Structure 1
Amino acid sequence: MAYEAPKKPLFRKLDNYLLHVSDLEQAISFYRDRLGHSLIWRNAEAAGFALPETDAELVVHLRIGPETDILVDDADAAFQELLAAGAKAVEPPFDIAIGRCARVCDPFGNVLVILDQSKGTFTTDKEQNVVGVGPTRYPT
Structure 2
Amino acid sequence: MVEALFRKLDCLMLKAADLDAAIAFYEGLGHGVIWRSPVAAGLSMPDTDAELVLHTQLGPEVNLLVADTDAAFARFIASGGREIRGPFDIPIGRCAVVMDPQGNVLVMLDQSKGSLDADGQLISTST
Distance 1:75 1:29 in 2: 33
Task: Kindly report which structure 2 residues correspond to 1:8-19, keeping only aligned pairs within 5 A, or say none.
Answer: 8-19=3-14
- Summarize deviations over 1:41-78 as a string: whole Å, max 9, x none: 00000000000000000000000000000000000110
What letter corresponds to residue 12 of structure 1 in structure 2? R
Q: Which runs of 5+ in 2 are unaligned?
A: none
Task: Give, in angstroms, the shift of residue 132 of structure 1.
Answer: 2.6
Aligned residue number for residue 38 of structure 2:
44
Q: Which runs of 4+ in 1 moved over 3 A?
A: none
What letter corresponds to residue 28 of structure 1 in structure 2? I
Structure with bigger strand share is: 2
Higher relative contact order (CA 8 A, sep 6+): 2
Instruction: Tell me, yes or no, if the aligned pair for 1:15 and 1:57 is still in contact at 8 Å.
Output: yes
Task: Give, in angstroms, the shift of residue 30 of structure 1.
Answer: 0.6
Greater gyration radius: 1
Q: Which runs of 5+ in 1 are unaligned?
A: 1-5
Instruction: Tell me, yes or no, if the aligned pair for 1:12 and 1:72 is still in contact at 8 Å.
Output: yes
Aligned residue number for residue 31 of structure 1:
26
What letter corresponds to residue 19 of structure 1 in structure 2? L
Return the TM-score normalized by structure 1.
Answer: 0.86
Task: Give, in angstroms, the shift of residue 133 of structure 1.
Answer: 2.7
What is the root-mean-square deviation in Å for CA atoms of aligned residues? 1.3
What letter corresponds to residue 26 of structure 1 in structure 2? A
Aligned residue number for residue 60 of structure 2:
66
**% identical equivalent positions:** 52
Distance 1:7 1:36 in 2: 39
Instruction: Tell me, yes or no, if the aligned pair for 2:92 and 2:122 is still in contact at 8 Å.
Output: no
Task: Give, in angstroms, the shift of residue 130 of structure 1.
Answer: 1.7
Task: Kindly report which structure 2 residues correspond to 1:1-140, keeping only aligned pairs within 5 A, or say none.
Answer: 7-32=2-27, 34-123=28-117, 128-135=118-125
Distance 1:112 1:49 in 2: 21
| Aligned pairs, number | 126
Distance 1:133 1:89 in 2: 30
SS of the aligned residue for 1:130 comes to coil
